[in-house]
């Protein structure tokens, strides 16, 4: 067995037809600005995505997730929305979006999009009307409050990106709240009229054929109406680089009425059979909130946390602890997992052990992701093994990094253009200089370099996804028999009569596993692994003897 080439046993076992399509699904995240530029302006667009949907479908994924493409001044690159029901001209038009959905559905791909319901852009017409005076129809659509008697902000709340969570507005003679940038005013989602307007947004996109939604920063969507100050955070050994880190975020977010609004979203999406909803939840109390937002049949389908996205090291204990928070038990929600996304540094740069080739680590990492119980999300370029790009300060676009330079790593390094063709100008992404520079090594990892190489990470990813789909134990099965011993990670996936054992070496030294795999039939072996030993970053999946 070579270090690159997996051994695959084709043993298709059908998933029960009543299982929702999204349960155990593989979702491919597309960052539109950096996926494919169809019109030569240096920025990716919807037509570029449509032209590359065959590539995405060839991975075997179930769905795509599109990061925001709505009209926006791009202060936070689309997460500051100026119109929820249109497409920013830089990405195309509603007709382009409809064409994307039609082509995706023809290829068997579901389409999910981002909903950003905690805030809008300050360019949104809702905010323009709200800030005009205190008596208009939308006066209470955002979070406004009077100054304290000394003119200071209403509370001590701090914004995620740095500085107070309040900005003075002379037109209203009040402060408005913002958990992120000052140009991202906080919606007052306590207001029933605001909820109705947001539900109208959901229906607009459902009527255009969207199959599901990722709901961004949903635990920031409601504040404490009594405007109580946050208490200080307890002492910590972790570096605090922002005023936000010095507080317990009790009153500026995570209000107990948020699940009631999520139930309204779920009731609406249930009018459209087969729709999927996933909450993005970060913060100090994320797991509790994720479970709350997915409890029972009337809330969201799944929740998406930050267990791995900012971890400096991948350890067996981290994986086990994250997974065991979501047992296969009645009343417990269904998790979604990601190792990378548009906000977090590329995992291959964070986690590759010293002395190990990044390509070997990337193979093991993809096998681990594809073995996890829950939905898994692959960020565009992860299937190619892209690493984090060092962006010089003069080219940084990320507003969070600009406000906190150099202590905050720029998110731009994970948002660089996808390399399609190694020999073409700008690696086939665009005919002109792209909005961010390509990675210096990414041309060697381009799609055309990997497409016809059976030992490439791209083709391994296709095989792993196919195996996950073919084995109910891997797609839907419960976890059992955890091992977290040094660098050795192991767990079984069990569904009905099928029993698959998964073992991974997360470190840079060899591990003896003799006796752990007696009588097992290999499904896949990676990086020189065999049933007796795991070399550095070795991995294997095994079908246990006597189990169907």
Listed in sequence order, the residues at least 6 apart from 278 whose beta carbon sits closer than 8 Å to its beta carbon are 112, 212, 213, 214, 215, 300, 301, 302, 303, 304, 336, 375
Q: Which residues pair with 522 in a beta bridge?
A: 542
Q: DSSP of 218-243, one letter per residue?
A: GGGS---TT-PPPPBPPP-SS---SG
Vertex 157 angle, CA 155 and 161, to 5°: 145
CA-CA-CA-CA dihedral for 80, 83, 86, 90, to nearest 10: -40
In the DSSP assignment, the letter for residue 448 is: H
Structure tokens at 172: 């209203």
The verdict on whether 444 is a catalytic residue reads: no
Question: HEC states along 126-150?
Answer: HHHHHHHCCCCCCCCCECEECCCCC
Active site residue 96: no
Cα–Cα distance, 85 to 214 (Å, whole number):
16
Q: Choose the catalytic residue: 10, 18, 135, 271.
A: 271
| Cα–Cα distance, 283 to 336 (Å, whole number) | 16
**CA 230/CA 210 separation, integer angstroms:** 38
**Measured between alpha carbons, how far apart are the two ends of the chain, in Å?**
25
154 neighbors 175 (Cβ within 8 angstroms): yes
Closest CA to 455 of 36, 6, 127, 57: 6
Rounded-to-integer distance, Cα 254 and Cα 283, Å: 10
DSSP classification of residue 356: S
CA 270, CA 477: separation in Å to the nearest integer?
A: 25
Q: Checking DSSP bridges between strand 521-526 and strand 166-169, what pairing results, if any? A: unpaired
- Structure tokens, 13: 């076992």
| 446 touches 384 (CB < 8 A) | yes
Contacts for 418 with CB less than 8 Å, ≥ 6 apart:
34, 35, 36, 380, 381, 384, 427, 429, 447
62, 88, 211, 216: which is the annotated catalytic residue? 216
Helix (H, G, I), strand (E, B) or coil at 387: coil
Smallest Cα–Cα separation from 284: which of 237, 241, 334, 234?
234
The burial of 536, by beta-carbon neighbours within 10 Å (0-12 exposed, 13-18 middle, 19 or more buried), is given as: buried
Question: For residue 511, what are the CA distances in angstroms to 103, 164, 252, 487, 533?
Answer: 47, 50, 47, 8, 6
Q: Which residues are catalytic?
A: 216, 271
């Amino acid at each position: 067995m070579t270090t690159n080439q997996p051994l695959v046993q084709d043993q298709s076992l059908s998933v029960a037809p009543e299982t929702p399509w999204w349960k155990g699904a593989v979702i491919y995240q597309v960052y539109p600005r950096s996926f494919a530029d169809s019109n030569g302006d240096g920025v990716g667009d919807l037509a570029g995505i449509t032209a590359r949907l065959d590539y995405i479908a060839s991975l075997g994924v179930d769905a795509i997730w599109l990061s925001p493409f709505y009209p926006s001044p791009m202060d936070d690159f689309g997460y500051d929305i100026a119109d929820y029901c249109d497409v920013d001209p830089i990405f195309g038009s509603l007709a382009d979006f409809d064409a994307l959905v039609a082509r995706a559905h023809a290829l068997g791909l579901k389409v999910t999009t981002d909903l950003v319901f905690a805030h809008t852009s300050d360019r949104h017409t809702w905010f323009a009307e709200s800030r005009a005076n205190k008596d208009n129809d939308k006066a209470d659509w955002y979070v406004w409050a009077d100054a304290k008697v000394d003119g200071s902000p209403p509370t001590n709340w701090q914004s995620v990106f740095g500085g107070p969570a309040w900005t003075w507005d002379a037109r209203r003679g009040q402060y408005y709240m913002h958990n992120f940038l000052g140009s991202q005013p906080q919606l007052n989602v306590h207001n029933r009229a605001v909820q109705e307007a947001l539900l109208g947004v959901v229906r607009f996109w459902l009527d255009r054929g969207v199959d599901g939604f990722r709901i961004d920063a949903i635990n920031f969507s409601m504040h404490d109406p009594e405007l109580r100050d946050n208490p200080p955070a307890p002492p910590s050994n972790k570096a605090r680089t922002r005023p936000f880190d010095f507080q317990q975020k009790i009153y500026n977010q995570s209000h107990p009425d948020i699940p009631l609004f999520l139930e309204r979203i779920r009731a609406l999406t249930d009018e459209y059979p087969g729709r999927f909803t996933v909450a993005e939840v970060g913060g100090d109390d994320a797991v509790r909130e994720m479970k709350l937002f997915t409890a029972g049949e009337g809330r969201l389908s799944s929740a998406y946390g930050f267990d791995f996205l900012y971890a400096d090291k991948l350890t067996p204990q981290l994986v086990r602890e994250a997974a065991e928070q979501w047992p296969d038990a009645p009343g417990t929600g269904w998790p979604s997992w990601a190792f990378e996304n548009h906000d977090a540094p590329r995992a291959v740069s964070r986690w590759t052990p010293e002395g190990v080739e990044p390509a070997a680590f990337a193979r093991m990492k993809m096998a681990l992701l594809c073995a996890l119980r829950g939905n898994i999300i692959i960020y565009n370029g992860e299937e190619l093994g892209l690493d984090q790009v060092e962006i010089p300060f003069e080219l940084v676009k990320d507003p969070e990094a600009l406000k906190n330079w150099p202590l905050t790593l720029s998110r731009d390094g994970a948002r660089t253009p996808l390399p399609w063709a190694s020999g073409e100008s700008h690696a086939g992404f665009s005919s002109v200089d792209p909005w961010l520079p390509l990675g210096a090594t990414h041309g060697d990892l381009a799609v055309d370099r990997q497409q016809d190489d059976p030992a490439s990470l791209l083709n391994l990813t296709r095989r792993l996804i196919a195996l996950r789909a073919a084995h109910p134990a891997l797609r839907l099965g419960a976890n059992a028999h955890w091992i977290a011993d040094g660098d050795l990670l192991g767990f079984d996936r069990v569904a009905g009569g099928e029993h698959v054992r998964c073992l991974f070496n997360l470190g840079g030294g060899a591990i003896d596993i003799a006796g752990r795999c007696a009588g097992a039939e290999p499904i896949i072996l990676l990086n020189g692994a065999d049933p007796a030993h795991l070399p550095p970053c070795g991995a294997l999946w095994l079908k246990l003897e006597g189990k169907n």
